[in-house]
Structure 1
Amino acid sequence: MFNLELFADAMYAPLATVSQEWQTDIERHNFARIRLTPSRLANFRDMVQRSRTLICYIWFCLELDEWDCTTCALSPGRTISDEFEEAFAISGTDKCPITASFQNLFSILSKWEPHGDLTLDISIHSLSDSEHWFPYLTFSPDTPLDIPDDHTVEKAMVNRDYHHPDHGRSHGSRHLVSPPWGLRKLFHLIMEQGPFDSDDEELEWWDKLPLVLAVTSLLLRQQSRRRWKPESLAHMFSRLPRVQEVHYDPWRGWDNPTQNLTDKFQFDRGIQPTAQGPIGGPIYDYRSQPNLRLKRLVIFENCNQQYPANMRRREFLGGEDVGTHALRKPIRDIGQMIALTSLGLEHLAASYIADASHFFEIRLDWAWPILKSLALTAKVLTPHEDSNEIEALLLAAAAAAKNMLQLETMEIWNGRKGLAGLLRYQAFRPKREAVLL
């Protein structure tokens, strides 16, 4: 009872310094889940040297420079100017750029010996993101840390009384949607405008980071609206050779050119480690450094329907309307790439980034010797779709399931505003029974 009450209130944490009797339990709680910012990296090595084995989760929180209303939304007339590039540049913070932060973090973690499970949760945001057009944004982890009320992260929590008519909010109610410029700034590519002169230079930088053997799980959550370049992720993954679990929540592109470019990179260069190494072109092929440990891959591409609707209402980029599809248009190559990735996995969930129909367009000789669970989305699961297409999908899924020798659960689902559908197959191996819902 003492421990439960103690751990429920972070204000008791200082007791660890005054009571040796309580120190063990309190430190186990204090160090299990920690929040790490660039400013704390300098002392991080010394602070955790004695308590390293207690750390199970690191939230690496990169806070970008704050910005004011002069850059939260730009007029179309400035899109081709130098000011446009500067307004959207994301180089980091004045005190600690993104590159220096990653270099310092990986240098520290590279000295850690593997010990149990260690999750690295990486997020990138600016506190200003929730102070202009998007006051409802939050950036905290899915499982809250014991953060004091006066901590700066609280600035990003929802403010129901937010009043800023110029940003479409009157006493908490929205009367104007965000302009495309505001949306594009929020979802801008990480390090697109620097500090590197080219993509190849950035990839070379990633490859020079030290190997980190202690990390076993990587989280890239949807709370980070900034976009990772797919090829950058492939090179980041190569520096984490013992990762067994990856959770990646990318946001879809809100205009066709952005989405098409992202899809092209994901297929041509690859973002995923597989049992044979990441899929990609010759320059980005890491089969010489195979990741044989990855067992669980979860990709959830956010399918927010309001943002593309906002984009379609406006013309931008010099007056050219480059709006986007209301719903994600799946790419066959990506679906089949994810299918190939799954051959060496125990668990795979890929939502919206690929369609189940493309996943099951596979070679008949493919086999999944260790796959236990599979979750995919399928656009045909709607009330008005052709029943023949749904039947064809089920037949393809059943054919693939025969080659999934350890399969316990397969879920094919679809969901968006006003619609939800699920097909679930569960196998009870000891009883040699199966249930289809």
Structure 2
Amino acid sequence: MSLPSLPAEVRHMILEALVKDGRELASFAVVCREWQAVIERQTFKRIRVTPSRIAQLNDMTRRNRSHVRYLWLCAELERYGCDSCSPTGENNDAPMFNSAADDLLIKTAVQSLFSVLSTWDSSSSLTLDISVYSTSDREHWFNYLTFEPDDGEDDAPSKRGYSHVSRPNQTVPCENGDERHRWEITNESLFKAQAAVQTVFTRILDEEPDDSDDEEMDGLDWWRELPLVPAITRLLLRQETRRRWAPEDLAELLARFPRLCELHFEPWREWDDMLQTYRDEGYMTLLESPSIRRLNRLSLFENFNQHYPDAYWRLDCSLIRPPNPDLGRILSEVGGNLESLSASFMVDADDFFALDEGHPRKRWPNLRRLILTSQLLAPDEDEMRLTDMLRAAARAAAHMPKLETLQIWTGRKGLAALFKYEAATEQGQASTITWKGTWVSLLHDSVIQAWQSVAAERSQLGLRVVYESIGVDEVRSHGDAMLLLELPEVVIRRVSLRQILNEQMHLPLKVRSSHEPSWFLCTHHV
């Protein structure tokens, strides 16, 4: 029996199976017009663009442009050899900035893409995902790196958390046989490891003006000459881009998207505390920009690797990045119009909820989801400070009339903790607060009372309090912590979490002495 003679329901089932299988579908579009309509919609939904193909983008999508929902711009930088990743001799320093050729490639790609997209339908809802990397990055010290597109929104079986992300069950050492690329850092290999890290964390676009040419445009003027792109409504800058965007460049980039409503930004921490201070000053300016204030959804995830500081002197690079109090306060100010806000590691919830004396109480009239990190969630921190912070969070939640969930968490090797509030969503339900962590900690009565007052606004059934525990040895990195704490997907992109988990497999673990907490699970109502 030929395919066209099959009942329509059977043909539809076959087509659905092909689409879900994830295979190349273009060849199936010639089967019949019925299939062509569905397959072209799927084929053109997500497009990978390289600088050399931007010129063909308009022609390639002319008939199916309305189907395009996601564009992944892959800016592949120049390749490099071992002399760059592990320099030898008297000068062991890696460059601080990309090469002039790499910067020209990025500028040309951005300018060409924006020129094309500026002509697209201004009522479209298009996601732009930008990755900047060199394929040589994974050929030397970092052979665990992967460069992948963002997961499709339709690929998620669950919208609640990361339960579908595979978690490696053992640590696998790097198999690179070249002694120059081993992560067992010694005094002799310290400078090579530092240069290797610096090579992949160079700065994008060195905007220092050329004194020899008074009429050369500075970097910010270059951004402002780019056309506006109304079709872009969501921007992804994921952690697989280890090269660093300057915050002032990002502010200008965002300004090119007048309809932008969602930003996912996953930068890496600096490996020098002084540079981190300068970087944070730039982040403050970025957060106060008009483009940030226009957003509906904002996710900031500052990534790190606990092994990389081994390549730096302890006085220069803190093992744990200290959050910037000013960043926390500014984020609290600019978040008033947001529906969803997640900020991890670069700010602390303690600073976000701090009330400035003499200032009116802040309000967040549209906020539905708020997820923050705090270094106070640790067994060796001041318990009273943690109690005060959780009570301050409850006072703030009283000024979030649409709040559905508020979560404060932390995670690194051997440590995971979460405080979570979930508002009652249906009649007959109670609101819930949950404490989940790698050590036993009962919430202070004053914290429960403060959140009971918040819950009373939503439900007459009181407040349910849940305690859960996680084994210390289960948490090998902040990636494991995110899985075990079942954080919502707004914290970090799923592909980024998979890459973090893959990275932890390929770096040697240090010997850790830790106290294994008692396991407990308790639920009670108040």
TM class, shorter-length = 0.7 to 0.9
> Retained in 1: the 8 A contact 2:299–2:343?
yes
Aligned to 2:432: 435
User: Which of 101, 109, 114 is residue 101 of structure 1 equivalent to?
Assistant: 109
Instruction: Show structure 1 runs of 5+ residues with no match.
Output: 146-157, 273-277, 280-285, 314-321
> Retained in 2: the 8 A contact 1:303–1:352?
no
Within-5 A mapping of 1:125-144: 125-143=133-151
Aligned to 1:49: 62
| CA drift at 1:116 | 4.6
Identity of paired residues, percent?
A: 40
Q: Report SS of the residue matched to 1:348.
A: strand
The amino acid across from 2:391 in the alignment is L
> Retained in 2: the 8 A contact 1:336–1:359?
yes
> Retained in 2: the 8 A contact 1:136–1:159?
no
Change (3 A) 1:328 1:159: closer
Take 1:419 and 1:201, find their aligned partners in 2: how far apart are those partners?
Answer: 45
Q: Are residues 1:365 and 2:361 paired?
A: yes
Instruction: Show structure 2 runs of 5+ residues with no match.
Output: 1-12, 154-171, 435-526
User: Which of 11, 25, 29 is residue 24 of structure 2 equivalent to?
Assistant: 11
Aligned to 1:36: 49
| Structure (1 or 2) with the larger CA radius of gyration | 2
Change (3 A) 1:249 1:261: same
The amino acid across from 1:3 in the alignment is L
Q: Report SS of the residue matched to 1:328.
A: coil
Change (3 A) 1:101 1:228: same
| CA drift at 1:142 | 3.7
> Retained in 1: the 8 A contact 2:220–2:252?
yes
> Retained in 2: the 8 A contact 1:91–1:98?
no
The amino acid across from 2:14 in the alignment is F
Take 2:432 and 2:22, find their aligned partners in 1: how far apart are those partners?
Answer: 44
User: Which of 187, 192, 196 is residue 206 of structure 2 equivalent to?
Assistant: 192
Give a deviation string over 1:33-91, Cα, whole Å, max 9, x none.
Answer: 111110110111111111111011111111001111121123473268xxx65x85334
Aligned to 1:308: 309
Take 2:109 and 2:30, find their aligned partners in 1: how far apart are those partners?
Answer: 30
User: Which of 322, 326, 337 is residue 319 of structure 2 equivalent to?
Assistant: 326
Aligned length: 391
Change (3 A) 1:292 1:339: closer
The amino acid across from 1:230 in the alignment is P
Within-5 A mapping of 1:336-351: 336-351=329-344
| CA drift at 1:168 | 1.8
Q: Are residues 1:243 and 2:260 paired?
A: yes
Take 1:123 and 1:219, find their aligned partners in 2: how far apart are those partners?
Answer: 9
The amino acid across from 2:380 in the alignment is H
Give a deviation string over 1:298-323, Cα, whole Å, max 9, x none.
Answer: 0010132111122237xxxxxxxx62
Aligned to 1:316: none
Change (3 A) 1:21 1:144: closer
User: Which of 356, 378, 388 is residue 349 of structure 2 equivalent to?
Assistant: 356
Aligned to 1:113: 121
State which drifts further: 18-27 or 384-393.
18-27
The amino acid across from 1:296 in the alignment is R
The amino acid across from 1:393 in the alignment is M
Within-5 A mapping of 1:15-414: 15-16=28-29, 19-75=32-88, 77-78=90-91, 85=95, 88-93=97-102, 97-143=105-151, 161-168=175-182, 179-192=193-206, 197=210, 201-267=218-284, 270-272=285-287, 278-279=288-289, 286=290, 293-312=294-313, 323-362=316-355, 363-414=359-410
Take 2:399 and 2:63, find their aligned partners in 1: how far apart are those partners?
Answer: 48
Take 1:252 and 1:260, find their aligned partners in 2: how far apart are those partners?
Answer: 11
Aligned to 2:14: 2
| CA drift at 1:433 | 4.4
Take 2:86 and 2:97, find their aligned partners in 1: how far apart are those partners?
Answer: 10
| CA drift at 1:114 | 3.1
| CA drift at 1:32 | 0.7
> Retained in 1: the 8 A contact 2:295–2:338?
yes
Q: Report SS of the residue matched to 1:58.
A: strand
Give a deviation string over 1:172-214, Cα, whole Å, max 9, x none.
Answer: xxx97761111011111111277x6499811111111111111
Change (3 A) 1:364 1:428: farther
The amino acid across from 1:387 in the alignment is E
State which drifts further: 360-369 or 423-432.
423-432
Change (3 A) 1:422 1:22: same
Q: Report SS of the residue matched to 1:190.
A: coil
Change (3 A) 1:312 1:291: closer
User: Which of 419, 432, 446 is residue 423 of structure 1 equivalent to?
Assistant: 419
Take 1:200 and 1:383, find their aligned partners in 2: how far apart are those partners?
Answer: 52
| CA drift at 1:259 | 1.1
> Retained in 2: the 8 A contact 1:56–1:118?
yes
Change (3 A) 1:125 1:144: farther
| CA drift at 1:385 | 1.5
Give me the CA root mean square deviation.
2.8
> Retained in 2: the 8 A contact 1:162–1:169?
no
Take 1:60 and 1:32, find their aligned partners in 2: how far apart are those partners?
Answer: 14
Take 2:173 and 2:22, find their aligned partners in 1: how far apart are those partners?
Answer: 24
State which drifts further: 21-30 or 129-138.
21-30
Take 1:133 and 1:221, find their aligned partners in 2: how far apart are those partners?
Answer: 21
